[in-house]
Amino acid sequence: MPRALITGISGQDGSYLSEFLLSKGYEIHGIVRRKAIEDPRHGLWRFSSEMIDNITLHIGSLDSYPSLYDCVSKAKPDEIYHLAACSFVSYSMEEEFSTLDINLTGTHHLLSATKANAPDCRFYFAGSSEMFGDARECPQNENSSFHPRSVYGISKLAGFHLVRNYRENHALKACTGILFNHESPRRGFEFVTRKITSQAARIKLGLADSLELGNLDAERDWGHSRDYVKAMWLMLQKEELDDYVISTGISHSVRCYCEKAFAHLGLDYRDYVKTKENLFRASETTPLRGDSSKAAKELGWKPEISFDQMIAEMVDAELADLQ
């Protein structure tokens, strides 16, 4: 039975990836912070109790090399999926030092612990389209130049180079997935898609009367997390590991997301959505849209859940939760 170790297992991608790998017969190990185990109702809300019984959780923290060393040596994984990070871009603008420290030094700790304890293990690093930032071409692929516009993007770009360096100079089987935005009903509430679907559902049920957002014209290439975790796994099954852009190839504006989410509830977003100057980003990226043709050709990966299906699933899940 292959063994996988997942950092960030309690997050959106970690929970879908665990379910996917369990269905493939993996033994799953995850690294969580102590407080997630002490308060599982909050820290592990994305997992059913049956799922929790099926995974082995280790207490560890990206800022502690000894704890990661211990987790890797106990789990003895065949595959590591490094998903944990400070991932909210807006916070990274306010909390530059801790974002860079946790995202970059944490990745370094884990790479080094892997090299020491599981040198034959395959290692996946969660990169991000934020690495492209002020992109000079559209769509962006693996050969596009990087120009991050946030400390989060800088931390992911530096992590990407570190992973490549371990692959080239330390013979570690490591790669990066450059993932564009991916959403689901398990998305955190701070991200714009979840903010829209949760508030739209509350408005529908008479629990709220408006939604405040920043730039409605910002564009993103939004896919579904369930599709994207499959790409992570496919990347690690290749004989020679490489880096891949994972995206849908279609971008939409925040306004379009609102229009569709509210329309799914029989509402017109223009009656409820207000823009607030303080919710605009100080430095926005150029419209990001990915070109995943390399992943399609070499991994046989393509997204299966459409933009409209994803929004409908998210809105329906909000309504079900509230009701």
* Catalytic sites, residue numbers: 128, 130, 152
Query: Does the protein bind ligand F7E through residue 235 (CB under 6 A)?
Result: no
**Least CB distance to ligand F7E at residue 117 (A):** 28
Residues 106 to 145: which contact ligand F7E by CB under 6 A? Answer: 128-130
State the DSSP code for 101: I
Residue 320 Cβ, how far from ligand F7E at the closest point, in Å?
22
Tell me which stretch binds ligand F7E (CB under 6 A): 24-32, 158-166, 186-194, 311-319. 186-194
Q: Does residue 47 sit in helix, strand or coil?
A: coil
Peptide bond into 66 cis (omega under 30): no
- Smaller CB distance to ligand F7E: residue 75 or 110? 110
Whether residue 266 contacts residue 224, with contact meaning beta carbons closer than 8 Å, is answered with no
User: For residues 256 and 264, what is the distance between their CA atoms, to the nearest angstrom?
Assistant: 12
- Least distance CB 215 / ligand F7E (angstroms): 5
Q: Does 178 bind ligand F7E (CB under 6 A)?
A: no
Of the pair 112, 199, the CB lying nearest ligand F7E is at 199
Q: Concatenate the DSSP letters of all residues of 86-133 into one string.
A: ---HHHHHH-HHHHHIIIIIHHHHHHHHHHHH-TT-EEEEEEEGGGTS
Quick one: DSSP state of residue 186?
Answer: T
How far is Cα 86 from Cα 93, in angstroms, rounded to an integer? 11
Length of the chain equals: 323
Q: Which of 26, 123, 124, 180 binds ligand F7E (CB under 6 A)?
A: 180
| Smallest distance, ligand F7E to C-beta of residue 84, A | 12
Which residues would be at the binding site for ligand F7E (CB under 6 A)?
87, 89, 128-130, 180-181, 190-193, 195, 213-215, 218, 220, 254, 279, 281, 284
